Chains A and B, each alone.
Chain A
Amino acid sequence: MELHILSYLVFSPLLGLLILFFIPRDEKELIKNIAFISSIIPLGLSLLLLFMFDKTNSGFQFETLVKWISTLNINYHVGVDGISLFLILLTTLSVPIVILSSFKYITESEKFYYMMVLFLEIAMLGTFLALDLVLFFLFWEAMLIPMYFIIAIWGGDNKRYATFKFVIYTSIGSVLMLIGIFYVGNLAGSFSINDVYGTVFSIKEQLLLFGAFFLAFAIKVPIFPFHTWLPDAHVEAPTGGSVILAAILLKMGAYGVIRFVIPLFPNAVVLLAPLIFVLAVVGIIYAAMASYVQKDLKRLVAYSSVSHMGLIILGLFALSSVSISGAVYQMISHGLSTGSLFLIVGILYERRHTRLITEYGGIASAMPMFSVFFMIASLTSIAVPFTSGFVGEFMVLFGAYSSDFLKNVYEYSQIFVYVAASGMLFGAIYMLWAYQKVALGPNINLENQRLFDLSLREFIVLLPYSILMIVLGIHTEFVVSRIMPSVDRIIGIFYAGLR
């Protein structure tokens, strides 16, 4: 019997989307409740998927292939492996959290907002699960539409500028990738990933295709120096948008690198790895320094994302089993911690309508529970042991440091690891500074004294991420034992294609 669980999963948000479509826009409470409840369905399905997932199988599972445009050999083809599995879970977990967190923040055109969030969920799940290049591209581009509306309608004062920048940046990358996809599909005779993986490209082709794919992913990640759209988009986006952007959308780029760039263009990867290391390491340090001088809390968190993503890219291109698995782990951890931090900024913003760090101070005395969550997210962000951040970061650093690939190809590559590790220090500098300026010190401002602590809804919003950050810091086997075989398979394909 064929299981279509993945297709059900991808399109399950459609159910909520359709119901919402028929509900009058003034039924605000009903809309919120339906949006929230319908977002639980994909979560349930993905948990079922996790339960059914066979960890001994490193390849794609639950594959579904339906003929679509047979003349061009484009198919509807989805499947999951250990790498996408947890990104799927992160997505299905984040969407209900985002919906719940938006209940008070979004006060106009709620109906459209929640429809857009559910639409976005379909696109995100599709991107992670698509095993056909064209299908992947469709989902990839589809993400842009709801994200555009979310920032453009419910964004801050400067939203037009931010959306414009976001769309232009992303589209430039996408256009090149589309050309690359057609070239690859044409040469491989199919757009299906199983066929594409075996295709051999000449060095020249590899370099050009690498450029086409990698630019799209680099912008999405974002890798220094393509990062400047991100702080603007984050600052202008509503809380929910920021959370999705940070927790999931940024992971798309890194996911694309593992799924396509590394296995498809191994020689280009080898040739260009030093350049990417330099960008990654510069990004880690530079973004951490930039974080330290931000006045806007949200912008600070946005730059911290750039810094962390630099480490993830370093892990991916170090091409050892441990470093890539660590990078995937760090992708999840970063989703949890940065997602949390954006929720936290949102909670503050809902109360005080400002994100300026100087406006706060000493709020731990007014909001003790809030400060505990803030602390947990900050600690995960700066990779304190027994948080998921440490596991990911340590695996990346050690994996990169001991990577045979790196040692064999570039003699002095370990220097990159030394420099990257210092992100641990620079991260602590800005994060603890921000925490202190917001939560500690005397609570002088009258408005801050009147702040009330978390409501039950906000507590429920923050709890899952926080629990996971600690659980994944101590119990890693469950996740790593599922990621690693698939990573090894990708590395195997990489080496097989290497000439």
Chain B
Amino acid sequence: MNYELSNLIIIATLLPFGGALLNGIFGKLISNRLSGIIASLTIGVSFVLFVIFYLYVVKNSKVPYVIEISNWLFLGKFQADISLLADRLSIIMSLMVTGVSALIHVYSIGYMEKEKGIKRYFSYLNLFVGFMLVLVMAENIVLMFVGWEGVGLCSYLLIGFWFSEEEKANAARKAFIVNRIGDLAFILGILLILSYFNTASFRLINDGAYKLPTTIAFFITILLFIGATGKSAQIPLYVWLPDAMVGPTPVSALIHAATMVTAGVYMITRLGNLFLMSEMTLAIIMLVGSFTALFSATIAITQNDIKKVLAYSTISQLGFMFSAAGAYAFSAAMFHLVTHAFFKAALFLLAGSVIHALSGEQDINRMGGLEKYLPHTSLMFWLASLTIAGIPPFSAFFSKDEILYKVFINENSVVPLAPKISYTMLIITSFLTALYISRLYFKVFTGDYKGSLKPHESPKVMLVPIYILTVLFAIFGPIGMGSGIGHILEIPARIFGKDLHLVNTFERLVGPSIASFGTISLDVSLEIFMIFISVIVAFAGWLLGRYLYCHQPSPVVEVINQKFYRVQNIIYRKYFVDEVYDFLIVKPYYYISRSLFELIDRVIIEFIIIGFIVKVTYITGYLLRFFQNGYLYKIICVGLIGLGILVYFMMGK
């Protein structure tokens, strides 16, 4: 590869850091608008550079490129350097990250217009993209950890952007600490990897993974997976994500929906060969993923805060990706990651548009009938809702079906039942997904408007980015078309005597950079059958939501509310998980710390040990003082005793 093109990647990765510095240091000198434009431009240019690199290099080559920037950590027999790995996986991910980021940056110019500290905001946002690119492009696992913690830090800074409110500062800290629990596991996993492989490089780790004993592979991968549950908000470490919604909405769209939270899935895909070494871990990933999907989808149905619904939806969708990863369908996981980035970013930005229109209102019970006031927002929200519900021909239909199918046909020799259990949970989740999103859509946009302020449609600077995302999530699907759908589409083509050769372009694209586990025989008829099931489920969920919530909540809702009040309340209160954690971990930690400190420092060391030494010294001194009070006879007496002792010892010798 020629020199200039590798420079492109370095520039593209470092540009966001430059933007962050520019806004951070010289922010005072420029206007708010200019600050936003600079921030958006840096990301935009970075995106264009990745596109150029993709078109000229990656598209035509299956070989990964390693681009060295600088040496960094010296770890004895090997080094962990600041180097980038440009292969199809990382470049596609970077394209998604910079593309979506650029749109959200532009959107932010409108959304954050009236906020104080907008330069700080753009500085953090740029910094985030920089660290995200480090995470994605990292050539070795230690550098990935830099990006991993770096995005967590930016997430902390941005959740707490309005830091003068205690609640937001608390949410920010909670996000950081919960992530740190995951990071701790991650770093232990890294220590294990480094000491077993004697390298930090992803390629060498993946190449040497087959030599690893199963037990070690299990420990390594489970630690990495715990790390992933922190960053990607899976059970048991998901609790920070709903709270993180107190941050600015574009931040929720970018960090807590499209990019950062998918880092766990990306990391597992990156280390695919390693994860393939432990079927136990894969089963755990699959089950945790699908259970998280189901669990959070139930919560999403009951929430009334528009952003909370989307937050639980994100957790649920991430669960889909993990289930796919657990079924070593890494391509399917990555494809859903990309489509999800488009439609979930769009949903969050649309929610932001609604919140913006209502001057900060987030309770869906005080919305309703907004389609009259916000025609653009409403239309796009409708499309995005259909997409996430899995209704064809939008992208999530393709990506979700691919996951469901791959999970269903997966075989796990350690936990044979896992794929089927997982599939069952996922199909129920599909239904619930369609239900909660149609509930959200119909409650917000149909019926009567219940607020008092007159809503206003958002400015173009906010709408255009969403339009672009809408186009993307609407038409992106066929790129990752599974063979079943391809087969269905072949039928009409055959009638006209044409052969379409529909293939999964996405899988072909990323295929060379990710792990695969031999070839799985595809049963096309089974796949077609399953597509029907999931389409029926999606429509059923959507129509049920429409029946219950379109225009007026149906009387059935009232009945359900009354009959199942207790169950509903438990779900609404998120199964009391936060309270349980608080009771079992947070409070005890403080009280244990407090009592340990009092006991060890105050009582044992200071009072007993030091006190004892002081007493002994004092008493000795007191006794000795008896001989030193200036009376001649006592001094002579002591002298004689001393002489006696001396003589005794000398005689003894």
Contact = CB atoms under 8 A, between A and B. Distances in A.
Interface in A463-499: 474-477, 480-481, 484
Contacts of A402: 76, 191, 194-195
A89 interface: no
A475 to B, nearest CB: 7
A441 B312 CA distance: 26
Nearest to A231: B601
B115 interface: no
A481 B172 CA distance: 38
Size category of the binding interface on chain A:
35 or more
Given A225-B605, A292-B590, A417-B191, A322 B169 contact: no
A397 B74 CA distance: 13
A320 B606 contact: no
Interface string A223-261: 001001000000000000000000000000000000000
Interface stretch (A19-27, A117-125, A429-437, A454-462): A429-437
A292 B593 contact: yes
Interface string A89-119: 0000000000000000000000000000000
Contacts of A442: 164-166
A290 B76 contact: no
Nearest to A437: B169
B74 A322 contact: yes
Nearest to B143: A385
Contact of B191 (A289, A364, A390, A401): A401
Interface stretch (A46-54, A132-140, A152-160, A418-426): A418-426
A476 B589 CA distance: 36
B610 A228 contact: yes
Interface in A387-446: 390-391, 394-395, 397-399, 401-402, 417-418, 421-422, 424-425, 428-429, 432-433, 436, 439-443
A436 B150 contact: no
B8 interface: no
B173 interface: yes
Nearest to A429: B177
B175 to A, nearest CB: 10
B421 interface: no
Interface of B is mostly: helix
A293 B177 contact: no
With most chain A CB atoms within 10 A of its CB, the pick from B150, B166, B589, B606 is: B166
B521 interface: no
B181 interface: yes
A321 B187 contact: no
Given A442-B164, A477-B74, A424 B187 contact: yes
A384 interface: yes
Main secondary structure of the interface of A (DSSP, over half): helix
A169 to B, nearest CB: 10
Contacts of A429: 177, 589
Interface in B161-216: 163-166, 169-170, 172-173, 176-177, 180-181, 183-184, 187-188, 191, 194-195
Contacts of A228: 601, 605-606, 610
Contacts of A379: 153
A432 B173 contact: yes
Contact of A397 (B164, B169, B191, B589): B191
Nearest to B173: A432
A201 interface: no
A404 to B, nearest CB: 10
A68 B632 CA distance: 43
A421 B191 CA distance: 10
Nearest to B200: A398
Interface in B585-644: 589-590, 592-594, 596-597, 600-601, 604-606, 609-610
Interface stretch (B49-57, B65-73, B379-387, B548-556): B65-73
Contacts of A286: 596, 600
Contacts of B156: 432
Given A421-B187, A425-B180, A425-B184, A475 B76 contact: no
B149 interface: yes
Contact of A290 (B153, B589, B601): B601
B16 to A, nearest CB: 14
A298 B191 CA distance: 33
Contact of B187 (A397, A436, A477): A397
A398 to B, nearest CB: 6
B593 A418 contact: no
Contact of A289 (B153, B170, B593): B593
Contacts of B170: 436
B156 to A, nearest CB: 8
Contacts of A477: 71-72, 74
B166 A432 contact: no
Contacts of B163: 362, 364-365, 439-441
Contacts of B142: 394
Nearest to A433: B173
Contacts of B160: 440
Contacts of A424: 180, 183-184, 187
A385 B604 CA distance: 37
B544 interface: no
B145 interface: yes
Nearest to A432: B173
A396 B183 CA distance: 17
Given A425-B181, A436-B173, A385 B146 contact: yes
Contacts of B176: 428, 432
A289 B172 CA distance: 21
A424 B152 CA distance: 14
A386 interface: yes
A476 B165 contact: no
A414 to B, nearest CB: 9
B522 interface: no
A366 B70 CA distance: 39
B70 A475 contact: yes
A362 B163 CA distance: 8
B417 interface: no
Q: Select the residue from A225, A289, A322 with max chain B CB neighbours within 10 A.
A: A289
Given A385-B146, A441-B169, A293 B597 contact: yes
A422 B184 contact: yes
Interface in B419-472: none
Contacts of B181: 425
A325 B75 CA distance: 10
A476 B72 contact: yes
A293 B593 contact: yes
Given A386-B146, A402-B195, A421 B188 contact: yes
Nearest to B147: A385
A53 to B, nearest CB: 18
B596 to A, nearest CB: 6
Contacts of B166: 440-442
Nearest to B182: A425
A289 B180 contact: no
Given A228-B606, A432-B177, A290 B593 contact: yes
A252 B187 CA distance: 30
A293 B601 CA distance: 12
Interface in B50-98: 70-76, 82
Contacts of B169: 436, 440-441
Given A292-B593, A443-B164, A484-B74, A401 B195 contact: yes
A459 B439 CA distance: 54
User: What 10 A-B pairs have minimum CB-CB distances, sorted nearest first?
Assistant: A289-B593, A385-B146, A440-B169, A440-B163, A402-B195, A290-B597, A322-B76, A441-B166, A293-B594, A401-B191
5 contacts: A228-B601, A325-B74, A395-B75, A433-B173, A476-B73
Interface of B: 70-76, 82, 142, 145-146, 149-150, 153, 156, 160, 163-166, 169-170, 172-173, 176-177, 180-181, 183-184, 187-188, 191, 194-195, 589-590, 592-594, 596-597, 600-601, 604-606, 609-610
Given A379-B153, A476-B73, 9 more contacts: A290-B600, A386-B150, A398-B194, A402-B76, A432-B176, A440-B163, A440-B166, A441-B165, A474-B70
